[in-house]
Each structure stands twice: as C-alpha cells, then as structure tokens.
Amino acid sequence: KQEVTQIPAALSVPEGENLVLNCSFTDSAIYNLQWFRQDPGKGLTSLLLIQSSQREQTSGRLNASLDKSSGRSTLYIAASQPGDSATYLCAVCTGGGNKLTFGTGTQLKVEL
Amino acid sequence: ETGVTQSPTHLIKTRGQQVTLRCSSQSGHNTVSWYQQALGQGPQFIFQYYREEENGRGNFPPRFSGLQFPNYSSELNVNALELDDSALYLCASSTRDLGYGYTFGSGTRLTVV
C-alpha cells in the first residue's frame, strides 16, 4: 500500500527566505508526482507535475525534484512571499494513472 | 479553456438522506476522479471514471456511487448519509495525453447533521 509522508507538518518563515518542503513515498512504482497548493477551505491548485522519467520541474520561484529510487521529492520555494502562505500537498500517481495518494500536507506561513 | 467546476459549493444534509454532487471536467479531459477530504487530512481517493466506466475505486462503501456522462461530466451520489461523511468533496479531471496531470475543482463542502 502506497503511503506518502510530508515533513514538516507546519513551517513559519520570514518573508524572503528560501525554503524546502519534503515528501517521501513508500512504493517507487509511481506514474508521476504532483505538488499542489491549497488555501483554507478551497480546492487544490496544481503547482508542478513530474513524470516518473523526469528528475525535476521548475515554474517561476518553484522547483520540484524527484528521486524515485529513494522515494523522495522536494519542493523548493525561492524568495518566499506572504502570498505563498497555504498548505502544500504532495501526491503520487499510481495504478497506471488512475489514483492519487496524498500526504497530509505542509502548512506554510510566510510572515512579513 | 475552462477548468473543473463543481456544484453546489456548500450543502447541509440530515443523517440518512441522499446527496448528489456534480462536476464538469476541464475541456479535453476524459477521466474524472472524486476525492474526500476530511478536515486537516489529505484527500482520499473515492473512485475514477474513464469513458463512462468505473476505472478504480478506493476504500469507500457501496453507498458511494458515481456516473460519468458522454460529455465527461460526472456525478457523485452518497446514500444513507452518516455524520462522518461531512467533508470537502473534490473532483479532478485529467487525460492520458497530459501524463495524468490532474486539475481539481474548488470542491463541495458537505455537512451532515
């Protein structure tokens, strides 16, 4: 059974700091890995999608890496801003693309 | 291109009642999945539909059922509602052509009293 763990559960940083969110998964037979952002009471916004054959993806200030063999992914956020405050969820896709397994998220607060 | 839209946004039901939630998938997406998210938890996979057929199911009882229509929109039906069914229900669409990158809707907040 695939299990996804995210560390830390919560993080508070001053504005401008670079930060790393961690995600680990137990079964390396994944189709892809996706990072999402969720604002309180809202749906999920896709940030980055990494296919199993890729090592990293970048979008603006965000960079996500994938090490499938060790079952790990990191989300790097550069020059954090208060607007980055949200919960960040990591999800691995298995079953040939038909199921996402999520971690419980990292709640990020960026303070002025 | 339109995203994933869900209706209604909020719903209050009484224990034992039945509820239907609706989802319109993103244009060009032929796969729809439903997830349940309890407060403070990550979303849990309920089931997926591909070309109007169920294509995978999570650990949810049969009173959770669904449909996908020819235009790829979908419904989630829950019978005999229980208090623990109170959650945010999320719909997500995708397609194999896009490497199964999922686009999520804003969700339906269901409260069972």
pLDDT, one tens digit per residue, over B95-107 is 877 777 899 999 9
Residues of A in contact with B33 (CB under 8 A): 98-100
pLDDT, one tens digit per residue, over B26-43 is 888 889 999 999 998 999
Would the CB atoms of A46 and B45 count as touching at under 8 Å? no
**Per-residue pLDDT at A97 exceeds 80:** no
Chain B interface includes A76 (CB < 8 A): no
**Three-state SS at A83:** helix
Q: Are A4 and B42 in contact (CB under 8 A)?
A: yes
Chain B interface includes A70 (CB < 8 A): no
Give CA–CA dist A21/A23, Å, rounded. Answer: 7
- For residue B106, give the nearest of A42, A91, A98 by CB distance: A42
pLDDT at B110: 98
pLDDT at A100: 94
Residues of A in contact with B100 (CB under 8 A): 31-32, 93, 97
Would the CB atoms of B96 and A44 count as touching at under 8 Å? no
> Which pLDDT band, with edges at 50, 70 and 90, does A94 fall under?
confident
pLDDT, one tens digit per residue, over B69-95 is 998 899 999 999 999 999 999 999 998
Give CA–CA dist B24/B75, Å, rounded. Answer: 9
Would the CB atoms of B104 and A31 count as touching at under 8 Å? no
Shortest Cα distance, chain B CAs vs residue A16, angstroms: 27
Give CA–CA dist A79/A13, Å, rounded. Answer: 11
Q: Are A50 and A58 in contact (CB under 8 A)?
A: no
> Which pLDDT band, with edges at 50, 70 and 90, does A14 fall under?
very high
Chain B interface includes A34 (CB < 8 A): yes
Shortest Cα distance, chain B CAs vs residue A98, angstroms: 7
Give CA–CA dist B112/B30, Å, rounded. Answer: 31
Shortest Cα distance, chain B CAs vs residue A56, angstroms: 15
